[in-house]
Amino acid sequence: MKTKSKLFVGLGLLFGMITLLTFLSTFFINKLSEESKNILIANYNSIDYCREMINALNDGNNAIVNEENFNTYLSLQLKNITEPVEATLTQQLSQNFQSYKTDTSAIATLHRNITDIMLVNMQAIVAKDSIAQKTALKAVLWIGFTGTICFLFALLVLFNLPGNIANPIKELTQSIKQIASGNYKQRIHFDKQNEFGDLSIAFNSMAEKLEEYRAGSLEKLMMEKKRIDTLINNMHDPVIGIDETEKIIFMNDIALKITGLRAENVLGKLVQKVSANNDLLRRLTEELVVVTPANAGPLNTAMKIYADDKESYFEQEIVPIKIIPTGEEVEKLIGTVILLRNVTTYKELDFAKTNFIATVSHELKTPIASIKMSLQLLENEKLGVLNAEQQSLVESVKEDSNRLLKITSELLNMTQLETGTIQMNVMPCDAKEIVEYAVSTNRAAADQKNISVKIKYPEEIPTVLADNEKTSWVLTNLLSNAIRYSYENSTVVIELTTADGMERFAVIDGGQGISPQYLDKIFDRYYRIPGSKKEGTGLGLSISKEFIEGQGGFLTVESDFGKGSTFSFTLKQL
């Protein structure tokens, strides 16, 4: 039975019983009232008339009747005959009253007649009272009976109806909670005939679909995981995944191979524990302790790792994995991936290139030196005086051979830096000696552009801790740049200042300056500012920087674009 029908029937019956109870009560009350009214009108009035008639009889002195009163009440009594015998008795009384007018001795008869009428009415009252009593008893029985049935029914409704509605709702709430907590196997079974039955069918079908969906998505997820696992495993570069609690979550085959580890010994283990017994993993993960923007991303230097039965080079990149969790706004670190890129081929090519450059520049040095020597001999007047044209040709060859010497020297320095074969020979050096070497080397170039080189020493000429040859090379290079990138007839200043135990060598020019966007790039190897018309290799500043930093100093630049630049480096004072 539908809940709606149950409610309708239950409440409807209750309503009907209350109505029946009300009807019965009204009916019996009315009946009792009618009966008592009957007694009052029919019998009580007659007794009252009789009493008045007796009073009228006794009104006169010694049985002289108050006729008028007697007549009045006799007339009323004649109209109020209700009992079967009462009519005859009242007729007799009326006749006797007529005869009394001629025979006054009939008064006793009148008395008797009236008393008889009173008696009849009193008996009727007793009889009717007994009827009323019976009616009252009937009323009590009926109302009691109906009331009891109503009470029992109400009790039944009270105990059944709330439970009938609330229990399924409670069960439904529990089941929804189960579903919400992920138990998609939850089902509910209600009586199939009512609305809750329909609800249980709908709920069960929803749970079934959710279960199917979860199974489907799980399968999909597993599929995706397998796809990613296969992808990572098929990568030729080693990949290591670490979660936010620093446990290793994946390591592809090549990563396992180069580290010599086995998957079952690393997966799910703390990276610190595993790397305690594995030097390579320790090297790879030592940057991981805290992933900061500084150590995230590719590391500049390639790592030499013994893999594939040979020495290989890998570039390491640390990629922090960040997500914004559903419903949140702040990014959260959920792990780190270490990528190793095999750069052995490039490294081998790079070595070949460096070796080639080193050999070529070394081999070029001897012929250039011999050209320079030949030029010096040519200029020697003992061997003959050159005419103006020949002199100009010699000057031009001298310039070219100087440029060639500069290039070979830069290339040689660069190859030595790349192969790590460069040696810093730091010792106390006279700062003035370094400055004078740089000025004398650049004298011809400065004269050519009519540039005057001014030197500003501090009061006391300092002694610095430096590699004389390399520092001279750096200052020569900076001065050469200042002259090359300055306008004709200008001035270049070399200024030495002392502060905090450091000597600062600054080369200040009033040339074209450097646009701010290129300031941090000019120290990169082979970098030349786009559109630079002067000849050059783009190696000078990068070599200079490494030379100075190799001695524990710093090389910096300040430039006002269009107004000039200041290149300066610091060295420790003795």
Q: Kindly indicate which of the ranges 49-57, 105-113, 222-230, 509-517 contains the residues binding ligand ADP, using the contact rule CB under 6 A.
A: 509-517
Distance, C-alpha 151 to centroid of its chain: 59
Interface pick for ligand ADP out of 540, 551, 555, 570 (rule CB under 6 A): 540
**CB of 431 vs ligand ADP, minimal distance in Å:** 21
**Comparison of 416 and 537: residue with beta carbon closer to ligand ADP:** 537
Sheet holding 239-243, edge to edge: 248-251, 239-243, 332-342, 310-323, 297-307
Q: How far is the CB of 530 from ligand ADP (least distance, A)?
A: 9
Indicate if the alpha-carbon torsion angle 292, 297, 302, 304 is positive or negative: positive
Question: Under DSSP, is residue 538 helix (H, G, I), strand (E, B) or coil?
Answer: coil
Q: Using the rule CB under 6 A, is 537 a contact of ligand ADP?
A: yes
Instruction: Give me the least distance between CB of 564 and ligand ADP, in Å please.
Output: 8
Binding of ligand ADP at residue 536 (CB under 6 A)?
A: yes
- Quick check: 556 binds ligand ADP (CB under 6 A)? no
Q: What is the smallest separation between the CB atom of 478 and ligand ADP, expressed in angstroms?
A: 7
Shortest Å distance, C-beta 453 to ligand ADP: 13
By CB under 6 A, residue 551 contacts ligand ADP: no
How far apart are the C-alpha atoms of 547 and 473, rounded to whole Å?
9
Number of residues that bind ligand ADP (CB under 6 A): 19
In whole angstroms, the minimum distance from the beta carbon of 354 to ligand ADP comes to 18
Calculate the dihedral angle through the C-alpha atoms of 291, 292, 298, 304, rounding to the nearest 10 degrees.
Answer: -50
Binding mask 438-477 for ligand ADP (x = CB under 6 A): ----------------------------------------
Shortest gap between Cβ of 438 and ligand ADP (angstroms)?
14
- Indicate the residue whose CB is closest to ligand ADP: 536
Figure out which of the listed residues 173, 419, 452, 532 binds ligand ADP, where binding follows CB under 6 A.
532
Q: Which residues are paired to 314 by β-bridges?
A: 303, 342
69 lies in the binding site for ligand ADP (CB under 6 A): no
The residues that bridge with 429 in the sheet, in sequence order, are: 464
Distance CA 220, CA 222 (A): 5
Q: Does residue 538 belong to the site contacting ligand ADP (CB under 6 A)?
A: yes
* CB contact burial 449-473 (16+ within 10 A = b; e otherwise): eebebeeeeeeeebebbbbbebbbb
Instruction: List phi, psi (to 5°) of 20.
Output: -60, -45
From the list 94-102, 247-255, 449-457, 479-487, the region that binds ligand ADP by CB under 6 A is 479-487
Among residues 338, 411, 541, 571, which is the contact residue for ligand ADP, using CB under 6 A? 541
Residue placing its CB nearer to ligand ADP in the complex, 14 or 529? 529
Using CB under 6 A as the binding rule, whether residue 522 contacts ligand ADP is answered as: yes
Interface pick for ligand ADP out of 83, 315, 503, 509 (rule CB under 6 A):
509
From candidates 344, 512, 556, 573, binder to ligand ADP by CB under 6 A: 512
**Which of these, 194, 196, 176, lies nearest to 186 by C-alpha position?**
176
Q: How far apart are CA 202 and CA 188, in angstroms?
A: 10
Q: Give me the least distance between CB of 524 and ligand ADP, in Å please.
A: 9
529 binds ligand ADP (CB under 6 A): yes
- For residue 322, what is the enclosing H or E element? strand 310-323
Beta carbons within 8 Å of 2's beta carbon, 6+ residues apart:
193, 194, 195
The C-alpha atoms of residue 251 and residue 238 are separated, in whole angstroms, by 8
Sole window of 290-298, 302-310, 415-423, 504-512 interacting with ligand ADP (rule: CB under 6 A): 504-512
Distance in angstroms (rounded) separating the CA atoms of residues 393 and 386: 10
Choose among 530, 508, 509, 529: nearest CA to 519.
Answer: 529
- The string of DSSP codes covering 206-231 is HHHHHHHHHHHHHHHHHHHHHHHHHH
Tell me how crowded residue 446 is: count the other CB atoms within 10 A of its CB. Answer: 19
570 belongs to the binding site for ligand ADP (CB under 6 A):
no
Rounded least distance, CB 475 to ligand ADP, Å:
13
Residue from 10, 241, 462, 511 binding ligand ADP (CB under 6 A) = 511
Q: What are the tokens at 33? A: 């009232």
Tell me which residues touch ligand ADP (CB under 6 A): 481-482, 485, 509, 511-512, 514, 522, 528-529, 532, 536-542, 565
